Every structure is written in C-alpha cells, then in structure tokens.
Amino acid sequence: MRASEGELRRFVVDNFLYGREQKFSDEDSLMELGFLDSTGVLELVNFLEKKYGIVVEDADLLPENLDSIGNLARFVSRKVGQTAHLIPALQTAMQD
Amino acid sequence: MCGIAGVCNSRNERVDSQLLTGMIELVYHRGPDASGIHADFGIGLANARLSIIDLSGGAQPMHNADKSLWITFNGEIFNYLELRQELLARGHRFATESDTEVVLHLYEEEGEQCVRRLNGQWGFAIWDIKTRKLFLSRDRMGVRPLFYTVVSGELIFGSEIKSLFAHPAVSRELDLIALDQIFTFWVTLPPRTIFKGIRELPPGHSLVFENGNVRTYPYWQLDFSAAPEQALSEDDYVEELQSLLADAIRIRLRADVPVGVLLSGGLDSTIVTALVRKFAHDRLRTFSVMFTAKELDESVFQQEAVEFFSTSHDQIRCDGTDIARVFADVIWHTEKPLVRAAPAPIYLLSQLIRDDGYKVVLTGEGADEVFGGYDIYKEAKIRRFCAAQPESKRRLRLLRRLYPYQDNLQRQPDRYLQNFFRVGQADTSNPFFSHQPRWELTARMKCFFSDQTRESLRDYDALAELCQQLPPNYDRWHSFGQSQYLETALLLPGYILSSQGDRPALAHSVEARHPFLDYRVVEFAAKLPPRLKMKVLNEKYILKRTFGHMLPPAIVRRPKQPYRAPDGRSFFALPIQDYVETLLSPEQIKTDAVFDSSAVSKLVSKFTSGRALGVKDDMALVGILSTQLLIHQFITQFSQGASSCGQVKASYAVS
C-alpha cells in the first residue's frame, strides 16, 4: 500500500490536533511544531505499522524518517517497497 | 482545624443569622464537632469547628474580655504555648486553653503585625468593633485557604468558595482567563480563582476591610536569593537543619488528639516518621496509598519503613475505577479544574484515616519544593548543562537520567528526547527556563478550547502576566532558586497544598500538618547554597546527609519518584460512570460551550479505542472532565450539590 500525504496529514491532524486544523506544510517539523508529546512518536509508529503493514525498527526512529508529512510519506514508500521486494507473497495476502 | 465564613458591610446593617447558617453549613465537613455564629450590626462571623486543641473550650466565634474583638479562626498556631507564656507575662488573662484565644490577645497587643509572630497554618478573620475594621490573614505558605469577594459594599469571605456562593448576591461564573492559566501552569495566578470576581487571599498576605474598601498586602515573602557561598560550613548547615526540623516536628505534635503520619515511601515522609518516633512514646500510626498499577506503586518502600520503625500501619489500595467513582466528589471539594487525577486517592485515604479515628496527620509535603527534590530541577540543570555545549554527546546522555519511572519517555529515540527537553532551542536567560517544557506541553491542551473561548482569550498571555508578578530581584537569583520559586509560589499552594492537600483531607475532617513548611525551615532552605540541595545530580543532598543515618538504607538510596496516580484511562474502565458519558457527550460540550465538541469527541475516541498513550491526552481528558464537573456542580446546578451538603449538617447554635 502506498502512503499518500493526505492520509498521513489526516492522521496527524486527527490524532495530535484532535481535528483542530492548523496551517503547516508537508515539510514542517512535527517536533518543532510541538505536536508530539513524550509518546507522540510511539503513536505515530503504531499507526504506520497497522495501516501500512510495515515494521518500524528502532534504527528507523529518526527525524529524517518521521518528522514531517513529506518524510513520513517517503519513508513509508521506501519501507513498503522493501517489504514488497522481500516478501511479495505476504503483501498479496494482506491486500486480499 | 475548621471552616470559617462571614460577611462585613459598610452600611452597618444587621447581618441575618440565617444567611450565616447557610454559608457555614456548606463547609460542615471541615468542622463537624461544633459550630457557632455571631451576627451583629455590620458584621457576621461563622465557624464550623474540628476540635483538636482544648476540646471542651475554644468554641468559636470567640471574643476578648470586653467583647471589642471577635475572631473566627481556621487552622493551628503551633507556637501558641510560647506566645501564651509571653502574653501572660505581659498581663493577659486567658479564658480558654486554645490557640485561637492566643491570636486574639496577640492582636490586642500588636495589631495587624501580630501575624509575623505566628508559626502555623491559618486563615482567620478578626472584627475590631472600636475601629469598625475587619482583618483577614492567611498563613505564609498557603496551607489553609481563604477566599473573598466584594459585592455592593459588602465583603463576603470563607474557607471555601461554596460558602460565598450561598450568599444570594454572589454570582457564579467561570473565569476563562483563569482556565487559560490552569491550562498553562496547572494553577491560577493568585488572587485570581476559576470563578469570576472571587479572589483568594494569596499566601503570606493580610487583608483589611474598612469603610467599604479592601486593601491587601504581603506580610512575608518567599526569597530564594541564596546566601553567598561559604556563609557557613556544610557541617554547620547540617547541625542547624537537624535542630530546626526537630523543633518543627515537636511543635506540630501539639494536639489533644492522637497524631498519625502519612507515609509515602519516599525520603521526606520517612524522615518525618523517624523524627516523630523520637518524641512520641506510643506506637506510631502511619497511613499510605497503594496502587494496583505496578509503575505507580511504592508499597515496597512503605513496607520497608513500616518494618524499620515498627509502626501500626493502614493503607488503601487504589485503581482507576476507584478514582472514577469519587472524582465528581473530589471536584466538589477542590473547587477548581485539575490536570491530574492524583487528588482522588488522597480523598480516599483521608476517609480511611477518619474511619480509623484520626483527625491529624503529619506529612513530608514541601521538602521537594524547598530542598530541591523534584525532577524538574534536575531537568533544568541538565538542560542548562547541555545548552552550554550542545555538541557534547556525553552531556546529552544525561537526559536519560530524567524521569526513569516514565517508561514511554524512556522509549523515545535520542533526537526526540532532546527535542522534548528543548535542547538547543530554549533561551537559558528566559526567566521561566526551567518550567518552559512543562508549561508548553500543558498549554497544548488549549487546542480543545471552543472558538468562542479562543475569541475571548485572543489578547491574553498568561506568561506575560506571570512576568509582571515576579519578585523584584528574581532575575538576579541563582537559576536553581528561580525554578524553586516557580514551584513553591505557584504549584505548591495552588495544587499540592489545596487540591492534593487541604481539600481532600478536610473533605473527611482530617487536618494535615507539614513540618518542612515551617517558615523557619523554608527560610533556612531558601538561603542554602544550591549545591547542598542538589549535589551534582543527587537531589535533596542535605536531607540525606543530615537524616540518612536514621532511615532504612533502601529509602535513602532510591531515586526520587513523585506521587502519581492513574489518569485519563481511569474514566474509561467499564462500566463507565454516568457523569463521564453525560458531561463529555457532544451535546453537553456544545451546550456548555467552553470546549470544542468535535475535538473532545476525537479525544474520547482515542481513549475508548485504547490509542491514548501520552501524558498530553491524559492531562486533556482530566482537564476537560474536571472543568465540565465544575461548571455543573457550581454554576448550572449549584443548589443540588449545596442541598446534599445539608444531609450531614449538625445543629447550629445561634449566639
């Protein structure tokens, strides 16, 4: 499954801003915007793993991967690509 | 300990005794042992008494020999015996053995300045017939509450706001600026309260009402401008602390009823237990809260202390369901929104203490504030240390030493942790440097405000207002003293001593006494060089150095763990309490209009689906629910809560 910026933005707005729309761009840092509390990144990871069927390793927990809508979308695409390449059967099974 | 209430009008009209009865009935829980009112021209005083000193004498309101002074008093004066001796030598004659009468005679002698001589915890009013002047005073640290308002030339006051609301002229309205403050600092900035027009007399202040005018002034101030380094040797400080704290405890054991100790399992209450044992010959009674949730529970350490001191111990075991069950009652007593559910277990514990036949307990409260125990001090120290050399990896690793008991925080990747603590972002010269991360996180809760609430707060800036209230030399204080000031001037009286202290305890007629908040101990601690409070990263170093040898070693060694209780999730354990569903429903949120209903629904669904993990969600849920309870109990349905108070009322004698 491919991650769309719109979908990720919806999650961030719903989950961290409780739907209270606030203007920010796809490249703004979620940390610097103050959206994440001490568990924010864990909530983000739970969502990505459930929604896109990827596994986020400890080594992936970097702002370069997770800290803006754009970074998240690119990270998920990369991860999904890797997973698809490694275990295509599982991917097919998940899409059924 | 007591509840007080009263009115004073400048028109010299006779006060209706029914009115006073109605006011004092609402704080019957504070003083169920006796009650009295004094109604006269221009003045009305009421008192509900919890008898602790001079059980048979000491009825209130009390007057002096020629009846020119009348007092209604809530609290204890711990040095009353010494003051009494002094007054006897100056020719005063006493009709009772009570501490209240000592205050009255001291006022005769020294007037308003008499409060500087008192060592205790109080909120009282003295009516001076000759000068037609009403004098109100509150203790230095804010242990006991005192509220007032002025409506058409009449001063209306009481230990609790509900007594003021029993007066027909007093309106009940939420103050949104106060809510903004609570959703930033956890407390309001005194004298503001959550209700429009209702003021609290700030800690360490007196008030004079004369000719229809109110004047308040501080008679004592917190001063954390530490003494110059090497003013005394470490051994000298240790010796002084030893004798000061022992004396603070000695005079706090004065009571004509047995005194117990609240034992948390931490350093401070264990020190109190150790020192009390030196004075008390009977087997000491101790009380504690246990939590079903392992990460919150401290019973291993409580048990360690119980065995070490062989006390007779009693405890409650508490989980989220218990908290949800009593939370509405807790808000009836705190009279303000909360961002933590932690007062609820204290409320339950007080019930147990009362059922066990105890009225008075000593606590370790205040030591963390004045001797530097809290993690927020350590956090500020490490953040400052990192800011000085932001590239140092070794320094950044120290952030891992903070809040070791918070699993979710510890699971954060390094860069996120650094961001959370604002490393490299915060300006170290900011007067609020230490508290910035906490306040910014708390202020995120304001995103739940409705458009209407936001609009009315558009030009309001809570931090700017606090800036205006800082002591004149604050910017020249040591940074450690600055953060201690913020904690001791705001959170201590506004939350710890009230919502988590006086209110839940007195809800069950239990009086707490805090030896670490004896003003002599506070003044000593404030002058201590910061390195003796937190030695490198060893918190409360001087306490460990002075009293460590008297305590179980495991308690001296353990790192500080603050008292915490289950929060937001408590309210969603099945079956969900009716009030939770009603007050958080979209319809009710829309009707009350303080919060945005769709945002609240999203928060609630995070909880019901188990996706709420963080402290931000917890705080928001408790903050919103407690505000909704407050609106319903005090604004829209006040008469309901007020009439249920009447169920337990005593027979009130009219003097």
Per residue in B258-294, pLDDT tens?
Answer: 999 999 999 999 999 999 998 877 889 999 999 999 8
Q: Which amino acid is at B511?
A: E
Which residues of B are less than 8 Å from A19 in CB distance?
598-599, 602
* Partner-chain contact A61 B408, CB within 8 Å: no
Partner residues linked to B199 by β-bridges: B148, B192
Which residues of A are less than 8 Å from B415 in CB distance?
62-63
- B621/chain A closest Cα distance in angstroms: 12
Tell whether domain B234-313+344-371+488-557 is in CATH 3.40.190.10.
no
What torsion, rounded to 10 degrees, do the Cα atoms B156, B220, B336, B252 define? -100
- B614: nearest CB among A14, A32, A39: A39
Packing angle between helix B615-630 and helix B597-608, nearest 10 degrees? 120
Count of CA atoms in the C-beta half-sphere (13 A) of B469:
19
What CA–CA distance (Å, rounded) separates B598 from B586?
A: 7
pLDDT in the model for residue B118? 98
A60 touches chain B (CB under 8 A): no
Task: Provide the residue ranges of all domains of chain B, joining segments of one domain with +.
Answer: 2-173+189-220, 234-313+344-371+488-557
Is residue A2 scored above 80 in pLDDT? no
Contacts of B361 (CB under 8 A, 6+ apart): B259, B260, B261, B262, B287, B353, B505, B510, B511, B512, B513
Whether complex ipTM tops 0.90 = no
Which residues of B are less than 8 Å from A38 in CB distance?
406, 408-409, 412, 420, 614-615
- A50/chain B closest Cα distance in angstroms: 12
Q: What is the DSSP letter of B500?
A: I
- A42: nearest CB among B406, B448, B613: B613
Coil, strand, or helix at residue B624? helix
* Partner-chain contact B613 A32, CB within 8 Å: no
Q: What is the DSSP letter of B326?
A: H
- A34: nearest CB among B444, B448, B602: B444
* Partner-chain contact B600 A41, CB within 8 Å: no
Tell me which residue has tokens 């910014």. B440
Partner residues linked to B200 by β-bridges: B147
| Residue of chain B whose Cα is closest to the Cα of A40 | B614
* Partner-chain contact A43 B602, CB within 8 Å: no
Tokens for B449? 């405000």
What CA–CA distance (Å, rounded) separates B247 from B244?
A: 5
Q: What is the DSSP letter of B152?
A: T
Under-50 pLDDT residues of chain B: 647-655
What does pLDDT average to over chain A? 84
* Partner-chain contact A39 B596, CB within 8 Å: no
* Partner-chain contact A37 B448, CB within 8 Å: no
Which residues of A are less than 8 Å from B444 in CB distance?
34, 37
Contacts of A28 (CB under 8 A, 6+ apart): A68, A69
In this prediction, residues A20-31 reach a mean pLDDT of 91
| Residue of chain B whose Cα is closest to the Cα of A46 | B611
What is the per-residue pLDDT across A39-71, written as a single tens digit (0 to 9) for each?
888 899 999 999 999 999 988 988 899 999 999
Tell which residue, B274, B243, B113, B235, has the closest CA to residue B520: B243
**What pLDDT band is residue A96 in, cutting at 50, 70 and 90?**
very low
Fold classification of A5-95 (topology level): 1.10.1200
* Partner-chain contact A43 B611, CB within 8 Å: yes
For the structural domain made of B2-173+189-220, what CATH number should be given? Answer: 3.60.20.10
pLDDT in the model for residue B652? 37
A42 touches chain B (CB under 8 A): yes
Tokens for B649? 């009322």
Tell which residue, B486, B595, B493, has the closest CA to residue B179: B595
